[in-house]
Amino acid sequence: MFQNRSCPGFRTLVILTIILGTYICRPTALWGQGATVSLQDFVANGNTIPLSDHCVRLTPAEDWSSGSIWYKESIDLTFSFEMELNIMFGCDDESGADGIVFVFADTRDVLGYQGEGMGFSGLQPSLGIEVDTWENDHLADPWQDHIAILQHGHVHHYYNLAGPERIENVEDCELHQFGISWDHTSKRLSVQLDGEERIAYTGDITEQIFAGNPHVYWGITAATGRYNNRHEVCFEKLDFDLAIDELVFNKALEGQLIRGDAIVLESIQFEDGSTSISKRSFPDLYRLMNLMKANPGLDLRINGHTDSDGSEFINEKLSRLRALAVAKFLSQQGVEKNRIHVKGYGEKYPLATNDTSIGRMKNRRIEVQLYNPRT
């Protein structure tokens, strides 16, 4: 939590809750995460800076600034979900600009154009839900604050999927409830502001926007131009359920694995010096589990690697124990033990220099490879 310096005594706090699979009717195994959100779960871009372990500032109250923050894991549009958050859109009503966009895109680590682009303009393919606090006549903006559902990085309202809908002033130094819900059965996207639905769109987002790819990333972008406002976000809690049986790699990565390529799964992480698997590793491990179950004729090699810190003997042992931890996880999920083969290489095969922290992080890795044991 952090203090809003323009409004003494006011706490700027955003609480984000996400629930996936709330409309799933068929029985399915679920994996849930309910821990306090860490900024390690996100990727930040532009002028975004951390304010605490769960708060960021997307832009300062300065002209020509922009920032975005993206959750590292994708969501699946073949499932329904609900997102609820409280957000402060700024304190400068007279000359505050430009606004915030909640974005779905097929990639992360991206940031669009500044000013009227609100960090969203230019992102393709994408769907954005804008709360625009500045009137740009040439974009067909109404003079009031407004909300609209945008597509493919276009901020001119000619291209809107829905809106713009005029809303009361939100640059008031107050928290506003903001909700997004997606019903995969009716294909309806609904947006609520302060408990009231303000805009909605019905359409096959997967086909119309993302060319049939249901796995998309979500993030928040903001920008200033010749006028400015401070845009800040705090993530307090993130709750969601993922349908384990539906978790799959993207087509390109799945193809590489089926061909027998050795792939580093960067999401598989361990605590420093530990063999305990981090929870943020679970989605990819479940994807690997499903891939093996779908291809019963293939076996799996799990190769553990470390950086050069510590002795060679200890590193080789640690790398093998970590590979064994991954193997144990998969076998506990029903993958046959005799199909899983582990090896610890320690520090023998670095991918990068061990002279920097980034290089050492790249060298601490789990590499997996599927192969046909009968060929």
- Which of 215, 246, 277 terminates a domain? The answer is 246
- Which of 227, 246, 265 terminates a domain? The answer is 246
Same domain? For 240 and 263 the reply is no
C-beta neighbour count of 76 within 10 angstroms: 18
166, β-bridge pairs = 146
Same domain? For 228 and 277 the reply is no
Same domain? For 37 and 171 the reply is yes
CB 90 within 8 A of CB 174: no
CB 369 within 8 A of CB 300: yes
Same domain? For 100 and 160 the reply is yes
Structure tokens at 34: 């309910």
Q: What is the pLDDT of residue 242?
A: 56
Q: What is the pLDDT of residue 210?
A: 96
Q: What is the pLDDT of residue 53?
A: 79
Question: How many domains are there within the chain?
Answer: 2
CB 31 within 8 A of CB 239: no
CB 71 within 8 A of CB 41: yes
48, β-bridge pairs = none
Phi/psi region, residue 64 (left: phi>0; alpha: psi -120 to 50; beta: rest), is left
pLDDT by residue, tens only, the chain of 375 residues: 333 333 333 333 344 444 444 333 333 455 454 445 678 888 999 999 998 877 889 999 999 999 999 988 788 787 778 887 778 788 899 899 999 999 999 988 889 999 999 999 999 999 999 999 999 999 999 999 999 999 999 999 999 999 999 999 999 988 788 888 888 889 999 999 998 999 999 999 999 999 998 889 999 999 999 999 999 887 765 555 556 777 888 889 999 999 999 999 988 877 667 888 877 788 889 999 999 999 999 999 999 999 999 899 999 999 999 999 999 999 998 999 999 999 999 999 999 999 998 888 889 999 999 999 998
CATH of the domain at 130: 2.60.120.200
- Which of 246, 280, 300 terminates a domain? The answer is 246
Enclosing domain of residue 332 = 251-371
Same domain? For 225 and 257 the reply is no
Q: How far apart are CA 51 and CA 54, in angstroms?
A: 8
Q: What is the pLDDT of residue 237?
A: 59
Same domain? For 335 and 267 the reply is yes
Same domain? For 233 and 280 the reply is no
Find the angle CA(56)-CA(60)-CA(66) to the nearest 5 degrees: 80
CATH of the domain at 304: 3.30.1330.60
Same domain? For 255 and 126 the reply is no
* Signed CA dihedral, 28, 329, 217, 55: sign only: positive
Same domain? For 142 and 285 the reply is no
DSSP string, 246-276: G----HHHHHHHHHT--EE-TT--B-TT--P
Q: How far apart are CA 197 and CA 149, in angstroms?
A: 13
Q: What is the pLDDT of residue 28?
A: 44
